[in-house]
């Protein structure tokens, strides 16, 4: 997963404004008590950050990949 794809999924799954707020403010223990945005800035692989964010917010697997039904899902954690 590329950084661009991560941010596209944030916008699609959580909505433009709410998704960016979550990424900036939601502290995730799975990422060492960092926010998703901080983890991305620190160089954590976007796939790892995406799964941590979705896990923390109980997003079902079927809804994690946005609106594009042909989008290839990031590899399992």
Average pLDDT over residues 12-35: 95
CB 73 within 8 A of CB 66: no
- Does residue 54 belong to any structural domain of this protein? yes
State pTM to two decimals.
Answer: 0.87
Q: How many independent structural domains does the chain possess?
A: 1
- Does residue 25 belong to any structural domain of this protein? yes
76: number of Cβ within 10 Å: 7
> Which residue bears the tokens 């404004």?
17
CB 42 within 8 A of CB 36: no
Rounded to 5 degrees, φ, ψ at 28 are: -115, 115
Q: Say what the pLDDT of residue 64 is.
A: 87
- Does residue 17 belong to any structural domain of this protein? yes
Q: Which of the four pLDDT bands, split at 50, 70 and 90, describes residue 63?
A: confident
Q: Which of the four pLDDT bands, split at 50, 70 and 90, describes residue 77?
A: low
């Amino acid at each position: 997963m590329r950084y661009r794809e991560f941010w596209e999924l944030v916008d699609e799954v959580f909505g433009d404004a709410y998704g960016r707020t979550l990424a900036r403010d939601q502290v995730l223990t799975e990422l060492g008590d960092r926010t998703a945005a901080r983890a991305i800035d620190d160089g954590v692989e976007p796939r790892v950050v995406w799964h941590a964010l979705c896990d923390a917010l109980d997003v079902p697997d079927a809804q994690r990949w946005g609106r594009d039904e042909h989008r290839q899902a990031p590899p399992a954690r």
